[in-house]
Amino acid sequence: MNRILIIGAGRSSPYLIKYLLEQAAERSWEIVVGDISLDLAQARVNGNQNGRAIELDINDSSKREREIAAADVVVSMLPSLMHIDVAKDCVRLKKHLITASYVSDELEALDEDAKKSGVVLLNEIGVDPGLDHLSCMKIIEDISSAGGTIQSFESFTGGLIAPESDNNPWNYKFTWNPRNVVLAGQGGVKFIQEGMYKYIPYHKVFSRIEKLTIPEYGVFEGYANRDSLKYREVYGLENIPTLYRGTLRRPGFCAAWDLFVQLGATDDSYIMENTENMTHREFINSFLFYNAGNSVELKAAYHLGIGIESDELAKLKWLGIFEDTVVGLKNATPAEILQHILEKKWKLDPEDKDMIVMLHRIYYEIDGERKELNSNLFVIGEDSTFTAMAKTVGLPLGIATKLVMTGVIKTPGVQLPISKEIYDPALNELKEYGINFEETTYDAKQ
């Protein structure tokens, strides 16, 4: 095998491409980077003799199939909804595929065909999901092999702005796909706590938060993330009383974001009228009671049950929500308009540094004693291109690609990075790049 096709050269790809180009120099591989923007693909390859940039529109099925057929391994950096056509091509053409995205029902349905074709379809090998799987499985294996029994497993991850670049009242900027941020929590969440099944509907997700203090890095708040229940089987913890996965933000973020949720400004299910000419102020006013005598700010405060001088309303004002700036998007949903507004204010400046925070908190019993294990990861980005997000997404992807190319990972079918053949070599190499989990074990309170 000697050719790797990377589809998509967006904000999460710089470290992935850099890593594979370095590997290519040692192994005589060719790295083909395809993106709908040839300029962006060329910028990522940066003239490297082991790389080649091509213009690739994923909707051009003939060119897509041709490029996949010429590759040995395909890495899809596309949005998750776009993976399926690539995956079907890979199975039919007997090419391995690696993505950082959650396994969709459509992709899961390809499992048997992939096994018959001898094709590895490895998913969820980014940061979250990805690094969490690698580190969690190692912890679980270490505790189990020592004779311990895990009773509670909580995992939190946050893509945040680094303290030195934190200069806005939200303590947040976009470091990954903005659309995913706007739509976070939709569909509700599920988890199990002390043997009780818990369900949080979307309109309550951001009001059900947990405060966490991490030494040296301060206070965070966590909200529940997606369906934690499915990971009981994935992690081999079917009988565990508590399993919870959450997302980290700085204090105050969730209360302010919840205002958008309660208004309906994150809804992506319908198109609003006259959005091209609508202003930010008119956008937010469209969700409020009609009252010609009150300002939009006053109506918003009354509608949401907050003070006119509240921190939450101040955060909305800082975003420019109440300004007379024209939206300028045609036939847009509320979520698309909100994303458009946020991208103006939450964009990383060129020298900004972001931060990835991951925390696992595990309670287990061994030799009649109850223990608490905390496993923490902190990664700081270099700048707005080589971000911590790009590093923690791209390097696991790159290492997994190398392991497939060299035959270390060879189990066919739809896979997650939960086997020892993946997590051991991946975690060991990630340490060389400064992605290292620090673990501390305490005697837990009974």
| pLDDT category of residue 1 using cuts at 50, 70 and 90 | low
Q: Which residue, 246, 149, 223, 236, is CA-closest to 416?
A: 236
- The Cα 40–Cα 68 span in angstroms is 20
Give the per-residue pLDDT at 81: 86
Mode of pairing for the β-strands spanning 30-35 and 3-7? parallel
CA 237 vs CA 198, 240, 425: distances in Å: 17, 5, 23
Q: Which helix (H) or strand (E) holds 369?
A: strand 369-380
Alpha helices for 191-310 (secondary structure H): 230-234, 253-263, 280-285, 296-304
Q: Does domain 131-255+350-443 have CATH number 3.40.50.880?
A: no
Looking at every residue in the chain, the average pLDDT score rounds to 95
C-alpha dist (Å) from residue 179 to 174, 224, 268, 334? 10, 18, 10, 12
Q: How far apart are CA 199 and CA 214, in angstroms?
A: 27
Q: How far apart are CA 431 and CA 428, in angstroms?
A: 6
The predicted structure's pLDDT at residue 444 = 83
Q: What is the pLDDT of residue 240?
A: 96
Best CA proximity match to 15, nearest among 422, 350, 383, 438: 383
Give Cα separations from 142 to 277, 315, 369 (angstroms): 59, 44, 16
| 126 DSSP assignment | B
What's the pLDDT band for 176 if we cut at 50, 70, 90? confident
Residue 336 has a pLDDT of 98
User: 10 Å Cβ neighbour count for 62?
Assistant: 7
Question: Which pLDDT score, from 0 to 100, does residue 33 have?
Answer: 98
For residue 446, pLDDT over 60 is answered with no
pLDDT in tens, 103-139: 999 999 999 999 999 999 999 999 999 999 999 999 9
Q: Select from 123, 133, 118 the least CA-distant residue to 97.
A: 123
Domain at 3-122, CATH class = alpha beta
Question: What's the confidence (pLDDT) of residue 292?
Answer: 86
pLDDT, tens digit, 9 for 90 and up, residues 263-276:
999 999 999 999 99
Contact in structure between 139 and 153 (CB atoms under 8 Å) = no
List the structure tokens of 76. Answer: 């899809």
Neighbours of 235 (CB within 10 A): 20
> Which pLDDT does position 3 carry in this prediction?
97
Q: Which of 1, 4, 25 is nearest to 13 (CA)?
A: 4
Could you give the percent of the chain with pLDDT greater than 90?
94
Q: What is the reported pLDDT for 100?
A: 95
Domains of the chain, by residue range, sit at: 3-122, 131-255+350-443
Evaluate whether 116 touches 404 at the Cβ level (below 8 Å): no
